[in-house]
Structure 1
Amino acid sequence: MGPCLMMGQHQITSPDGKLSAVVTPAEQFNISISYEGQLLIDDIASDMDIAGKGSLFGASRFKKAEVTKVNSVMEALVPTKSKEIKDEYGLLVLHYTKFDFEVRCYNNGLAFRYRTKLGSKPVEVEFEKLDFSIQPETTCYLPEEKRLISHFENYFEVLPVSDIKSGTMANLPMLFTQEDQPSISFTESNIYDYPQMFLQKGAAGFSSIFPKVVLKTKEGRRDRDEIIGEEANYIAKTSGNRAFPWRVFMISKTDKDIVSNNLVYQLADPLKLEDASWIKPGKVAWDWWNANNIDGVDFESGINTQTYKYYIDFAAHYGLEYIILDEGWSKTTTNVREPNPNIDVAELVRYGNEKGVGVILWSLWRPLDEDMDGILNQFQSWGVKGVKVDFIQRADQYVVNFYERLAQETAKRKMLVDFHGAFKPSGLRKAYPNVINYEGVKGLENDKWEDLITSEHELTIPFTRMTAGILDFTPGGLDNVHKENFMARFDRPMAMGTRAHQVALYVVYEAPLQMLSDTPSNYYRENETTSFIAKIPTTWDETVVLDAKVSDYILLARKNGDSWFVAGMNDATPKEFTLDFSFLGEGSYNVQIFRDGINSDKNARDYVLEEASVNASTKMDIKLNKSGGWVAIATKL
């Protein structure tokens, strides 16, 4: 039974009948969300302010309400959870004279947006109001931001909502959990020609805050600093007739449901490319994390052609699809149309083509913004397969449009784009699947200078940042140690947690372009580990989250073709599970297992590689040691 509706209220219910929302038009839209009859949020407030018109709600008259049900299936071209996605929801559309207010109620979340009818001329959006409060005792996983110029890489402070100071700003997604209640994760989807949203804590709850339109920037001290000189008094100048971004409340009854949520992708615009058949996900040999520390060769390692041929040979040996030339390959960081004197890009591309390995080049965002055609045409003439764009730092309307422009222009040249120093994903890759990855995560690179990339942090990410979409965490460190033995070393970095924990990241983290961050020399020395990693794909036809608890552990299975890839990761407390293989379906499988060795609590590099035979009726007891991991590749016989 739903709540008793007052005059003028509108209700929408999920297909399974468990989630419902009531929309009350008053001086704005007021929205409440309930799950299985339990009120979760009762005071969501929404409106938009348009220059010269004031409140969009106040300037419009109600016409009619429509409620329908939608049940369709979409196919992901570069799938990271499942290839086929069931898209089923209840739809409420409130028609007003100057806009429609659309509300979708899924089994696992609620989303709403405005679709304006203000004419084809541009309008200035002065503000979009979104307020809501969460019960004060609720636990928040807070991705705090000190300002709106950011690398968007967050550690998560875990604290009650009541302890978050007024004025605190946060990146999205934000996760709220409470014992014996569904969790709530707030984010957004389908952002075009509009800034990204942040949240700010106030006395009564959380409120939206946006970067304003940038009118002028200042010269920074470095080539990558973003300093805003002058801002407009509005957040977007955009078409008066358009659909605005979705505001998304993901509702999860269990922690494993948080990881399964795919609403950001489902709500995004469909494919905008005429041809996407050329897009090739894969794994990458990466140079920057390991500082080109190769050994056992007869040349001086560094940013030079011989070193990168060594990377190409390594990638070809293990069947990796790409190498990246990170910062330093170009003449300067602002001139990326010319290589430095020690690099012959055309020769590397030619050599890579012989070996079946593509080349991706790094660039700051500013040069690309100022000379996109010139730079991309040069990259294309060399035969480069993609661009890694870095240090973007902003999230205002202009920069959001830069993301789409780069996605379009790279796609025209059949090139991938990997956004680094970037804000979170919000659905762009569905329209432009050549957008192959985003950073926007506190990843393994931080091991070079601090000791905070712990197993607890790595176990928080799937429930927080990853709910927005793909992430370039850059796993693969082979100098595995526990925190008590860890040292931050810039040129020869370590990685906390066991070897099996590090390997498990390749299955748990969703990244169609997945890095191998350590030096090829270390990977050659650890051939058994590297050969195992090389077998793990980067796209998934199906995902089953078997068990999970935020920040503590995760156990999931992902399917690619006829094979299943199972991974478990845990925090510093050892865990034991009984793994039920019923997800396998019919047939028997050979399973290759990479797990913690008996001494991995002392020596984190200790692991065991073993084989077994399993089928759908198999139940296997597995143990994860301190900050440990467990990975299996199940191949159908």
Structure 2
Amino acid sequence: MLLLFVFANSLWAHAQEIFSPNKNLSLKFEIKENGVPTYQLTYKKKPVIQPSSLGLELKDMPSFMDGFSITNTAQSSVDNSWNPVMGEEKTIRNNYNELVVTLAQAKNNNRYIRIRFRLFNDGLGFRYEFPKQNDLNYFVIKEERTEFQLAGNHKIFWIPGDYDTNEYAYTTSKISEIPSLMQKATIEINSQWPIKELAVQTPSMMKSADGLYINIHEAALINYPAMYLEVDPVTNKLRSHLAPDAVGNKGYMQTDTQTPWRTIVVSDKATEILASKLILNLNEPTSYKDVSWIKPIKFIGIWWEYFVAGKSTWAYGVENNVKLTDDFSKLTTNGKHGATTERAKEYIDFASKNGFDAILIEGWNIGWEDWINNWKEEVFDYVTAYPDFDVKAVHEYAASKGVKIMMHHETSGSATNYERRLDRAFQFMKDNGYNSVKTGYVGKIIPRGEHHDGQWMVDHYIHVAKRAADYKIMVDSHEAVRPTGLNRTFPNWIAQESARGTEFESMGGLSPDHTTILPFTRLMGGPMDFTPGIFQTDLSYYGTGSTQRVNTTLVKQLAYYVTMYSPLQMAADIPGNYERFPDAFQFIKDVAVDWDNSYILEAEPGDYITIARKAKAKNEWFVGGITDENVRTANITFDYLPAGKKYIATIYADAKDANWNKNPQKYTVTKVVVTSKSVLKQYIAPGGGVAISIKEGTTSDMKGLNKL
């Protein structure tokens, strides 16, 4: 028996290996010298992650870094499917092989942890688990030390590591070049807190010299701080770095518990990175009993005019020292307040006329006069309207037109104030017919010293989503921690911003390649409220003296409704601009926001993306294609259409002389007949795009149309 025990332990001390279901990926785990746990990952025999150590440092306790021996291993396989409430696919397959390794530290009274690995066809997920045991109850994480030893000096698409914002422009470089580019990349942004160590945010997208696409992120971020990646530009090693709290600790844990999943999506095809559902699969199914009230939303709003038109503001008064207890009817009005009853009715009329579900009205509530940069706690009350906005009248008018009003809750970073007022605010919404809310966290966080990405705030965002569900309210959060697939667990958390979105087109602009990178980075974790649909791209049009421009063609803005997935899509421009381009606006009115199937036709991060999608429960398909600053020809196939049938494709294309900075509004609209065998070679202008709607039609409808 003793010999058998020694033999078994010698096997456990050696490598444990599992393969993905399709055998392309291999995960190897083993204990190295001094009892250090390590793992490595290969794809089609190419190294993805070379041997890398695992572990955590604890505060005032022995670490989980070394001294381990394997006491047990278990392997299993799962192959099932599930249906998201909303999504890019009607059905998602969940297929993986699992290895669970139990590790004990003899030097610490056999204190033990588990590391759980799940290997999918498209990548790896793993996490640390801390079972309840006599010698491990409560502990504080000083730092997580998960390593990702890359196999080379990869091309990487990155933004600076920052505890408080994800709203940076992307930089494309070699890993070794990050140090020399970091200062330039760390542009000034409201509420930023750049990490002192050389670090980048996740999701982090890379491409190796031998053609592998590698994406590192995390899944199921619950009761834990967000993870960043410290960079060693000499050895090409990345290492986890967690957001701290106000006193410098990283995480407060009580067993039985676990970390979020660390995810590595990998393929030799960029299209398969975008198609991956690994992060969603690693999140828990929702526990909501009724999800019938959770629905996709296409909306307009009193929003963009605040940024560009120069005629409207969020604030009602001109004072800069205002308290919630003040009599706002006695404020000196600035004459530019946008959220008035009459203005809201104009937007409601436009939404009703054009088939939009809802309108967002920002600046309706008291407190906007000095809401930012004052680190003020009692900043909004979420129930008191300005004197020129009649909540009841607007609700009744919208209801008579079949339009919902989307609530806006800006917190100015004062999460404590918001939590105290949350139930009253949600009840106010319910009483007045609101079923969705856009939350905002611009500013430094209160509790003071906490960060947007720390454990306290991660718990706050989830608390808001769960409490909103009690009132059957959907949530769209801005300036929150970047998503990690929690829209599966909390499906009413339907979208987030958490990246550099359209608003920055009025504040310095977005580079033409920005939106060819976002789907490979920010959108890997979940849908984004990017706010597309800007038709008036030259902002000098408004006569405010601005020389700023939106760095796309008009058609690229149409394509975003397909390439930038979200069940919450805004037509973000001012209604009058859509009335100037009614034929192009038709695509926004037609395009779906919830899907049965998605087909990634072609993609290269930083260069181009072309995606086709089938509308949920309809025989309608939509295609979007975008490029960076370079002209290109998109290769669009239609083999996802039912064989043997003809359809009418309406093609919205850049004109030959269009360009993102010259003639951005030049486009063509043509109709052709397509089948599953059709192929389209479509010209796309610099900074441009293509958008296609595909619908059934009668023989009469197709008469006179060319066949593609």
Same fold (TM over 0.5): yes
1:32 is the counterpart of 2:40: yes
How many Å separate the matches in 2 of 1:480 and 1:303? 24
Aligned residue identity for 1:379: M
| One-letter amino acid matched to 1:405 | H
- Residue identity matched to 1:352: A
Corresponding residue of 1:632: 692
Match of 2:51 in 1: 43
Contact 1:498 1:596 in 2 (8 A): yes
Task: For structure 2, list consecutive stretches of 5 or more residues without a partner in the other structure.
Answer: 1-10, 105-111, 181-196, 312-334, 369-378, 443-450, 698-708
Aligned residue number for residue 706 of structure 2: none
1:213 pairs with one of 241, 245, 266: 245
Q: Is the 8 A contact 2:620 2:695 kept in 1?
A: yes
Q: Does 1:68 align with 2:111?
A: no
- Would you say the 8 A contact 1:269–1:427 is kept in 2? no
Q: Which residue of 2 aligns with 1:224?
A: none
| Corresponding residue of 2:480 | 422
Given residue 388 of structure 1, which amino acid in structure 2 is its aligned partner?
Answer: K
Q: Once structures 1 and 2 are overlaid, which stretch shifts more, 499-508 or 133-142?
A: 133-142
1:349 aligns with 2:399: no
Q: 1:382 is matched with which residue?
A: 432
- How far is the alpha carbon of 1:71 from its aligned partner? 0.7
Residue in structure 1 matched with residue 102 of structure 2 by the alignment: 95
What letter is aligned with 2:583? E
- Asked if the contact 1:449/1:490 (under 8 Å) is kept, the reply is no
Q: 2:636 aligns with which of 554, 560, 579?
A: 579
Once residues 544 and 508 of structure 2 are traced to their aligned partners in structure 1, the CA distance between those partners, rounded to angstroms, is 9
Shift of 1:44: 2.4
Matched, 1:182 2:212: yes
CA distance in 1 between counterparts of 2:363 and 2:165 reads 17
The match for 1:532 among 558, 573, 587 is 587
What are the residue-to-residue correspondences of 1:104-123 with 2, within 5 Å?
104-119=118-133, 121-123=137-139
Q: 1:135 to 1:59 in 2, by over 3 A?
A: closer
Query: Is structure 2 residue 173 aligned with structure 1 residue 159?
Result: yes
In the alignment, the residues of structure 1 paired with residue 21 and residue 622 of structure 2 have an alpha-carbon distance, to the nearest angstrom, of 31
- The superposition leaves residues 546-572 of structure 1 with CA deviations (integer Å, 9 ceiling, x where unpaired) of 111111111111111321111111122
- C-alpha change, 1:538 and 1:389, in structure 2 (3 Å) is same
Aligned-partner Cα distance in 1 for 2:284–2:622: 30
Q: How far, CA to CA, are the matches of 2:165 and 2:360 in structure 1?
A: 21
Is 2:600–2:611's contact at 8 Å kept on the other side of the alignment?
A: yes
SS at the partner of 1:430? coil
Measure the CA separation in 2 of the matches of 1:265 and 1:490: 45
Match of 1:143 among 138, 159, 162: 159
Give me the whole-angstrom Cα distance separating, in 2, the residues matched to 1:542 and 1:489: 44
Kindly state the Cα deviation for residue 51 of structure 1 after the two structures are TM-superposed. Answer: 4.5
Q: Structure 1 residues 631 and 337, CA, compared in 2 at 3 Å: closer, same or farther?
A: same
Mapping of residues 475-494 of structure 1, within 5 Å: 475-480=532-537, 494=549
Question: Which residue pairs with 2:646 in the alignment?
Answer: 588
Distance of aligned partners of 1:7 and 1:590 in 2 relative to their CA distance in 1, 3 Å threshold: same
Query: Are 1:77 and 2:85 matched, yes or no?
Result: yes
Q: Does 1:372 align with 2:422?
A: yes
TM-score normalized by structure 1?
Answer: 0.90
Q: Report which of the two has the higher share of strand.
A: 1
SS at match of 2:626: strand
Question: Offset at 1:454?
Answer: 2.5
Query: In 2, are the aligned partners of 1:200 and 1:208 still within 8 Å (CA)?
Result: yes
Matched, 1:54 2:62: yes
Indicate the residue corresponding to 2:6 in structure 1.
none
Give the Cα separation in 1 of the matches to 2:103 and 2:41.
23
The answer to whether the 8 Å contact 2:13/2:70 transfers is no
Residue in structure 2 matching 1:606, options 658, 662, 666 = 666
Structure 1 330/104 Cα, relative in aligned 2: closer, same or farther at 3 Å?
same
Tell me the distance in 2 between the aligned counterparts of 1:536 and 1:63.
55
Per-residue CA deviations over 1:90-111 (Å, capped at 9, x if unaligned) read 1111134532211011111111
Give the alignment partner of residue 439 of structure 1, picking from 490, 497, 503: 497
Conservation of the 8 A alpha-carbon contact between 1:294 and 1:520: no
Q: CA RMSD in A?
A: 2.5
Conserved in 2, the CA contact under 8 Å of 1:136 and 1:162?
no
Aligned match for 2:203, one of 173, 178, 181: 173
The match for 1:313 is 349
2-structure distance, mates of 1:271, 1:209 = 29
Q: Tell me by how many angstroms 1:56 deviates.
A: 3.2
Q: State the match for 2:188 in structure 1.
A: none
Q: Which moved more, 1:567-576 or 1:195-204?
A: 195-204
In structure 2, do the counterparts of structure 1 residues 68 and 300 end up closer, same or farther at CA, with 3 Å as the change threshold? closer
Please name the residue that 2:28 is paired with. Answer: 22
Shift of 1:135: 4.2
Q: Which residue of 2 aligns with 1:291?
A: 306
- Do the aligned residues in 1 keep the contact of 2:50 with 2:150 (CA within 8 Å)? no
Matching residue's letter, 2:423: D
The Cα of 1:489 is off from its aligned counterpart by 6.7
* Aligned counterparts of 2:167 and 2:310: Cα–Cα separation in 1: 29
Partner in structure 2 of residue 218 of structure 1 = none
Q: How many residues align?
A: 607
* Match of residue 223 from structure 1: none
* Displacement after TM superposition at 1:402 (Å): 0.6
Contact residue 387 and residue 417 of structure 1 kept, 8 A: yes
Q: Secondary structure at the match of 2:347?
A: helix
Q: Does 1:457 align with 2:507?
A: no
Residue 322 of structure 1, aligned match among 334, 358, 361: 358
Checking the alignment, whether the CA contact within 8 Å between 2:13 and 2:30 is kept in structure 1 is: no
Separation (CA, whole Å) in 2 of partners of 1:209 and 1:7: 28
Q: Answer whether contact 2:220 2:261 (CA < 8 A) is retained.
A: yes
Query: How big is the shift at 1:152?
Result: 1.4
Percent of aligned pairs with the same amino acid = 24
Deviations 1:113-161 (Å, cap 9, x if unpaired)? 122113495432332211223245311112113x41x231121111111
Q: Which position in structure 1 is the counterpart of 2:150?
A: 134
Q: Distance in 2 between matches of 1:406 and 1:208?
A: 27
How many angstroms does 1:73 deviate by? 0.6
| Matched residue SS, 2:665 | coil
Q: Contact 2:310 / 2:544 at 8 angstroms: preserved in 1?
A: no
- The superposition leaves residues 323-364 of structure 1 with CA deviations (integer Å, 9 ceiling, x where unpaired) of 111235435552222011111122212211221211112223
1:615 is matched with: 675
Q: 1:623 to 1:250 in 2, by over 3 A?
A: same
Asked if 1 retains the 8 angstrom alpha-carbon contact of 2:152 and 2:208, the reply is no
- Give me the whole-angstrom Cα distance separating, in 2, the residues matched to 1:355 and 1:634: 29
Query: Once structures 1 and 2 are overlaid, which stretch shifts more, 319-328 or 605-614?
Result: 319-328
Which residue number corresponds to residue 191 of structure 1? 221
For structure 1, list consecutive stretches of 5 or more residues without a partner in the other structure. Answer: 215-230
Contact 1:331 1:338 in 2 (8 A): no
Q: CA deviation at 1:473?
A: 1.3
Give 2:376's aligned residue: none
Instruction: Note the C-alpha offset of 1:624.
Output: 1.0
CA gap of 1:414–1:294, structure 2 versus 1, over 3 A, is farther
Q: Separation in 2 of the partners of 1:448 and 1:345?
A: 30
Equivalents in 2 of 1:394, 1:51: separation in Å? Answer: 22
Q: Secondary structure at the match of 2:612?
A: strand
Q: Give yes or no for contact 1:78–1:512 (8 Å, CA) kept in 2.
A: yes
- Residues 222 and 458 of structure 2 are in contact (CA less than 8 Å); yes or no, is this contact kept in structure 1? yes
> CA 1:257–1:235 in 2, change beyond 3 Å: closer, same or farther?
same
Moved more, 104-113 or 131-140: 131-140
SS at match of 1:480: coil
Instruction: Report 1:252-271 matches (<5 A).
Output: 252-271=267-286
Contact 1:346 1:383 (C-alpha < 8 Å) held by counterparts: no
**CA shift at 1:495, angstroms?**
2.1
Residue 124 of structure 1: aligned partner: 140
Q: Pick from 455, 460, 463: which aligns with 1:402?
A: 460
State the distance in 1 between where 2:544 and 2:221 align. Answer: 38
For 2:491, what is the secondary structure of its paired residue?
Answer: coil
Question: 1:486·1:496 contact (CA, 8 Å) conserved in 2?
Answer: no
TM-score where L is the length of structure 2: 0.81
**How far apart are 1:501 and its partner, in Å?**
0.8
Give the whole-Å Cα distance in 2 for the aligned partners of 1:614 and 1:208.
Answer: 49
Amino acid at match of 1:194: Y
